[in-house]
């Protein structure tokens, strides 16, 4: 059941639905309310959908600002300003805005022309505006810049790695940690496990446009000791690695320095991790593990870009399973439950 209500801990509206609807796109729920004539519910869901997207848009802009500040400070006054400016802005030259849709549109035009001598026959202009169409336009107005911003972070961190070495990526992310993740999860311990799941799902639902339809659909389940969110696909790093199924845009090109070539505790001791994706290991496992002795929100990163990305919220953080700890070099608490799961495996839990 849909539950959209003010949450005192985060001090704003938050969807804390039951598990049967929590992973459903807010856009979809708003469309259902529109079609059913539930005006107040529809308006509230539209407002919340906009809030979901706006929050993540602000986070991405903040991150880019902080990376830029890091690069300028690291380069110093003697740095080549022209070279730096090119690196900062090159994404707007290389990002394939609309190219896949352009080709699909031309294919559709040709297919229509082949079927009839009057391709415009039967087309009409609606007298009024369609709220469902407008809702989707609102999504796209956030989604397309979002995907560019994700790719921009990836490219800037690639430049950081190329110029100053892989450890500089960690240094850069640590400098932006508080303004992005630290503030967002400041009151994490005050939330119930279900509220923690709701906040987690919110970020990957309307925030990052996860799911094959890019509308924010994820799967949630209760494993008993933990609540689980599964993205097929992740709308940020997953789209970067796999491409966008909605438009047909291919994976983002990497270049020589777009992934790590040395294993680090902050890349799950793996190589070949996109720099964008490394922030998940840093912000959710590596750093909180060192600060508090417990992981904040572990996840199963899988090298196969077609595989799902699975995140865990433990109902009792002291019961976080043992296999999560070694991969980021955090000492395993002696009382951590151990079910024989092998952290070296891509699917340690068997899913």
Q: Helix 39-75 vs helix 193-205: angle between axes, to the nearest 10 degrees?
A: 80
Q: Which residue in 126, 127, 132, 158 sits closest to 278, CA to CA?
A: 158
What is the rounded CA–CA span in Å between residue 351 and residue 122? 49
In the block, residue with structure tokens 């750093």 = 287
What is the rounded CA–CA span in Å between residue 195 and residue 8? 11
Determine the pLDDT at residue 311: 97
Residue pair 270/263 in contact (Cβ under 8 Å)? The answer is yes
3-state secondary structure of 19: helix
Q: What is the DSSP letter of 179?
A: I
Determine the pLDDT at residue 80: 67
Q: Which residue in 168, 242, 180, 208 sits closest to 311, CA to CA?
A: 208
What is the rounded CA–CA span in Å between residue 223 and residue 6? 27
Determine the pLDDT at residue 131: 87
Token output for 139 = 């999504």
| Torsional sign, CA 17, 21, 22, 26 | negative
In the block, residue with structure tokens 């529809």 = 42
What is the rounded CA–CA span in Å between residue 150 and residue 153? 5
Q: What is the DSSP letter of 223?
A: -
Determine the pLDDT at residue 178: 87
Determine the pLDDT at residue 134: 85
Token output for 26 = 């807010």
Residue ranges, the chain, pLDDT below 50: 118-127
Q: What is the DSSP string of 65-122?
A: HHHHHHHHHHH-TTS-HHHHHHHHHTHHHHS-TTHHHHHHHHHHHHHHHHH-S-TTTT
**Half-sphere exposure (CA, 13 Å, Cβ side) for 292?**
14
Determine the pLDDT at residue 79: 61
Angle at CA of residue 5, ends 202 and 19, nearest 5°: 55
Cα dihedral value 184, 241, 95, 93, nearest 10: 90
Q: pTM (2 decimals)?
A: 0.89
Determine the pLDDT at residue 77: 64
What is the rounded CA–CA span in Å between residue 175 and residue 181? 11
Could you tell me the residue ranges of all domains in the chain?
4-106+131-328
pLDDT in tens, 192-206: 999 999 999 999 998
- Residues counted in the chain: 351
**Half-sphere exposure (CA, 13 Å, Cβ side) for 269?**
11
What is the rounded CA–CA span in Å between residue 327 and residue 267? 8
Residue pair 351/232 in contact (Cβ under 8 Å)? The answer is no
Task: Give the contacts of 98 (CB within 8 A, at least 6 positions apart).
Answer: none
What is the rounded CA–CA span in Å between residue 212 and residue 203? 16
3-state secondary structure of 338: coil
Determine the pLDDT at residue 121: 43
């Amino acid at each position: 059941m849909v539950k959209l209500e003010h949450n005192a801990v985060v001090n704003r509206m938050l969807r804390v639905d039951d598990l049967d609807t929590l992973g459903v796109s807010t856009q979809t729920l708003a469309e259902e309310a529109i079609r059913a004539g539930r005006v107040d519910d529809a308006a509230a869901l539209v407002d919340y959908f906009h809030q979901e997207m706006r929050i993540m848009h602000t986070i991405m802009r903040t991150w880019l600002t902080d990376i830029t500040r890091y690069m300028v400070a690291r380069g110093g006054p003697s740095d080549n300003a022209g070279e730096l400016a090119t690196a900062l802005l090159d994404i707007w030259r290389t990002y394939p805005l609309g190219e896949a849709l352009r080709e699909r549109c031309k294919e559709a035009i040709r297919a229509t022309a082949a079927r009839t001598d009057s391709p415009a026959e039967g087309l009409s202009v609606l007298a009024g505006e369609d709220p469902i169409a407008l809702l989707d336009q609102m999504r796209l107005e956030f989604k397309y810049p979002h995907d560019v911003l994700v790719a921009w972070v990836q490219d800037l961190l690639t430049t950081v790695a190329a110029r100053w070495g892989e450890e500089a990526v960690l240094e850069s992310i640590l400098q932006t940690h508080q303004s992005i993740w630290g503030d967002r999860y400041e009151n994490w311990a005050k939330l119930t496990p279900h509220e923690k799941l709701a906040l987690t799902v919110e970020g990957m639902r309307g925030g990052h446009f996860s799911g094959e339809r890019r509308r924010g659909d994820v799967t949630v389940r209760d494993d008993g000791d933990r609540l689980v969110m599964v993205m097929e696909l992740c709308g940020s790093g997953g789209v970067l690695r796999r491409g966008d199924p909605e438009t047909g845009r291919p994976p983002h090109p990497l270049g020589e320095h777009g992934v790590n070539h040395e294993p680090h505790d902050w890349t799950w001791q793996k190589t070949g991790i996109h720099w964008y994706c490394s922030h998940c290991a840093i912000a959710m496992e590596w750093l909180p593990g060192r600060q508090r002795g417990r992981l904040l929100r572990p996840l199963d990163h899988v090298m196969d870009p077609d595989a799902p990305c699975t995140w865990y919220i433990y109902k009792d953080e002291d019961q976080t399973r043992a296999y999560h700890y070694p991969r980021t070099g955090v000492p395993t608490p002696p009382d951590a439950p151990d079910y024989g799961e092998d952290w070296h495996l891509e699917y340690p839990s068997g899913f």
